[in-house]
Amino acid sequence: MANRTDPAAKSIRGTNPQNLVEKIVRSKIYQNTYWKEQCFGLTAETLVDKAMELDHIGGTYGGNRKPTPFMCLVMKMLQIQPEKDIVVEFIKNDDYKYVRVLGAFYLRLTGIDSDIYRYLEPLYNDYRKVRRKSPDGNFMLTHVDEVIDELLTRDYSCDIALPRIKKRWTLESLGVLDARKSVLEDDFEEEEEKDEMEQDGLEEEVAHEKDYYRARSPARERERDWRRDSHRHRDRDYDRDRDYDRERGRGRDRERDRDRDRDSDKDRYRLREEKEYGYERERDREREGRERDRRDRERGRRRSRSRSRSRERKRHGRSSMSPRRHEAEDGNAPEESKKKGKKEKKEKKEKKDDGTDHPDPEIAEANRIRASLGLKPLKL
């Protein structure tokens, strides 16, 4: 029963007045504690006291979309449907700004187009500050004239879809509304009168000067004025062309300098890269040469060690031989001595041929390296 519309209330725009609020918002209002405790049993007279206690406006806020007291009072006005005179008194109240905004919001929902423009447009001159609760629950500062502009120009306000209204110029063309008159129109008229008076004085002075010059050979004065104007225009055109040519020349010089700097930077960068690449390539070549020489020396040392080890091994093998074997080998000694002599001669000849027995140690080392590489010895 507490949520039903007054039986004496009239339908607005062909529907129940409470249906102007969406069903979800309406159900949130019915479940709110402020609606149940503060709005129960209110009448048009007692509603004024609750409206005077308002300290902010807004729709719903928070994660569960809790309605504000302002929204609950708007819903209560739709339920009890106060008379038009009471709503107009709400709007004309200068002492309580939130009462004025409450009446303007209700009139925007339920009033006809002509009444909306007639009663809300004068509120554009109210610049008082009002607090508004945003959907995230924080307060923001706005003004009464901004709220009125939102009601007249927007389709949605405080989470409620506003009914559509005709444009003002349509009502003016139909003769329902007079042309809008600004509060500053009187000031504008005074400014226009002053401008007209000053312009009249200037016209009189110009007419007096014309008469004076007309008395002094008007044809000559006219010719002089024409020449002066032609020279002035010619000088102005010449200065403009000269400035344009100068600016264009500066732009070309600037572009040329920029291109030159860019080319010089590219050349410098390329030379630096080539130099660094050449240095790196030379270093790599020297490193490879040193590695090659080191490998050759190591290879020569390993070969010399293996030869000395094989000779020592043969020498130890003959000394550790058994007597019988020694006697048997003594029988073959002449043949072995012959073979050994031939082998030594051959080794001497190879040594002489490969140049490793050269008296100069550097040349002998170089011949040894060349022999390991399969090259001919140095002949010095």
pLDDT in tens, 271-330: 777 666 666 777 788 888 888 888 888 888 888 888 777 777 777 665 555 555 544 444
According to the model, what pLDDT value does residue 222 have?
A: 63
Beta-carbon contacts of residue 16 (< 8 Å; ≥ 6 apart): 5
d(CA 62, CA 55): 18
The residue that leads in pLDDT, 143 or 63, is 143
Of 4-8, 225-229, 338-342, the least confident: 225-229
Q: What is the dihedral of CA 15, 21, 22, 27, to 10 degrees?
A: -110
Average pLDDT over residues 251-276: 75
251 C-beta neighbours (distance < 10 Å), count: 10
Average pLDDT over residues 49-58: 92
Mean of the per-residue pLDDT values of the chain: 79
Residue type, 185: E
Q: What is the dihedral of CA 194, 199, 201, 207, to 10 degrees?
A: -170
Cα distances from 90 to residues 11, 102, 191, 257, in angstroms, run 22, 7, 36, 74
Q: Are 121 and 114 in contact (CB under 8 A)?
A: no
Cα distances from 289 to residues 2, 34, 284, 286, 296, in angstroms, run 105, 96, 9, 5, 11
Using a CB cutoff of 8 Å and minimum separation of 24, what contacts does 31-40 make?
A: 32/66, 32/67, 32/72, 34/67, 34/69, 34/72, 35/67, 35/72, 35/75, 35/76, 36/2, 38/69, 38/72, 39/72, 39/73, 39/75, 39/76, 40/2
The residue that leads in pLDDT, 325 or 94, is 94
Q: How many residues does the chain have?
A: 380
Average pLDDT over residues 112-136: 91
Average pLDDT over residues 212-225: 58
Q: Is the whole model's pTM more than 0.75, yes or no?
A: no
Percentage of the chain beyond pLDDT 90 is: 24
Residue 24 pLDDT > 50 = yes
Terminal CA-CA length for the chain: 132
Residue 72 pLDDT > 70 = yes
Average pLDDT over residues 87-96: 91
DSSP state of 374: T
Residue 181 pLDDT > 80 = no
Residue whose token pair is 């007639």 = 118
Of 61-75, 126-140, 216-230, 320-334, the least confident: 320-334
> Over the stretch 306-323, which tens digit does the pLDDT of each residue have?
877 777 777 766 555 555
According to the model, what pLDDT value does residue 1 have?
A: 47
The strand pairing partners of 308, in sequence order, are none
